[in-house]
Amino acid sequence: MNKLTHIIKLGWAYKISRTDHPTYPPFQYTIEPTNVCNLSCAFCPQSDPEHHLRRGHGKLTEENFELFLRRIKEADPGNNKINLTLDGEPFLNKNMVRLVELAAAEKFTSVFASNGTLLNRPLIDRLSASGPFHISIDFTAEENAFESMRGQKGHYALVLENLRYLIEKARQNENVNLSINDIASFDGAEPEASLKELKSLFESPPPGRVRFTSRQFHNFCGHLKTTESNRHYRLCPYPWTQLAVTYNGDCVACCRDTAARTVLGNVFEKTVMEIWTGEAYRRMRRNLLDRKPELNAACADCDLPYSGGEIRWRIKYMLNSLLGR
Ligand code: SF4
């Protein structure tokens, strides 16, 4: 389906008809290469000692990834972007470069987030040759703040070097696209000044291929104890836009549901459309339409429906987020 038609159908279903039964396929697909991580960042559920008790550890296999790509093509032959992100650090799956290569062979651009600590020059060289990708890495200019948020010391210089090398590759190779996300606001820093400081660490990054953003934080379905004073309810768009899948094929509520609190079907066993239009998905949407997020395990403690006038509700932000991922 062409992107414009897709966005119109999605907008109509979510905003105008408010149906629990969309007839179009998901706009975005995301699958995790692994749910294991080598860090325990304060803002991430990986820092919760009980996080892995909920669903254990695992890795996506090449075969299952190929099956997922086929499922996407069946549902929406026009789709050409695959997100390789949910929980975990993707490069802890030793096949990560191969996954990007398999996606490229099917004409997909891979989009993923990494903490950047497992990269090195040879790996970045292999990745750059494997196919088009957009990598997103969190960083901040202030070393002590970075290391305390990351939960481990000793990675600042390494990540900085990897970012500089990725920028160098982006200058030469159009496969390489990079977002550097400033996380300083989590530590209380003023976002604009901090972003400026972050940019100053890098010399003339190629415009268009390298972006700098200030990361918007959310509470990961209750991982962070936010106290929302705003009781104005807004309908979450994710169940109308995105199919999020764990390494073992379980479709979960959205990209925030890293603990797989709400499972809506298994995409290695059923087609995308069987799950997307199935009763479990429809019930989740109905609960949100009825303003009862508490009836969905994942949504019960999520801060999104009550996140007031935040930037993420602006149309421009939503469209950028839809098209950028
Ligand atoms: S309300 Fe929160 S947990 Fe539920 S689908 Fe939306 S973003 Fe995900």
Q: What is the pLDDT of residues 111-123, one digit of tens each?
A: 999 999 999 999 9
| Confidence category of residue 187, pLDDT binned at 50, 70, 90 | confident
The H helix count followed by the E strand count for the chain is 11, 9
Tens of pLDDT, residue by residue over 86-103, are 999 999 999 999 999 999
- Report whether residue 305 contacts ligand 1, using a CB cutoff of 6 Å: yes
Count of all residues that appear for the chain in the document: 325
Q: What is the DSSP letter of 220?
A: T
Grouping H, G, I as helix, E, B as strand and the rest as coil, residue 201 is coil
Cα of 302 from ligand 1 centre, angstroms: 6
Q: Which range scores top for mean pLDDT: 142-146, 219-223, 310-314?
A: 142-146
Query: Distance between CA 254 and CA 54 in Å, rounded?
Result: 17
Token pair, residue 79, equals 């789709």
Token pair, residue 206, equals 């190629």
Token pair, residue 181, equals 């996300």
Ligand 1 atom closest to Cα of residue 293: 1
**Does 84 have pLDDT greater than 70?**
yes
**Does 308 have pLDDT greater than 80?**
no
Ligand 1 pocket test target in 228, 304, 306 with most atoms within 8 Å of CB: 304
What pLDDT, on the 0 to 100 scale, is given for residue 53?
A: 84
Beta bridge partners of 210: 178
Look at 241 and 1; give whichever has higher pLDDT: 241
| Residue 232, C-beta contacts closer than 8 angstroms, at least 6 positions apart | 306, 308
- Report whether residue 86 contacts ligand 1, using a CB cutoff of 6 Å: no
| Residues 184, 185, 187, 188, CA torsion sign | positive
What are the φ and ψ backbone dihedral angles of 73, each rounded to 5 degrees?
-60, -40
**Does 293 have pLDDT greater than 80?**
yes
- Report whether residue 249 contacts ligand 1, using a CB cutoff of 6 Å: no
Query: Distance between CA 23 and CA 253 in Å, rounded?
Result: 18
What pLDDT, on the 0 to 100 scale, is given for residue 204?
A: 83
Whole-number average pLDDT of the chain: 92
- Report whether residue 209 contacts ligand 1, using a CB cutoff of 6 Å: no
What does pTM read for this prediction? 0.92
Tens of pLDDT, residue by residue over 21-53, are 999 999 999 999 999 999 988 888 888 888 888
Ligand 1 atom closest to Cα of residue 236: 6
**Does 124 have pLDDT greater than 90?**
yes
* Range from 142-146, 200-204, 266-270, 304-308 carrying the lowest mean pLDDT: 304-308
Tens of pLDDT, residue by residue over 269-287, are 999 999 999 999 999 999 9
Cβ proximity of 42 and 151 under 8 Å: yes
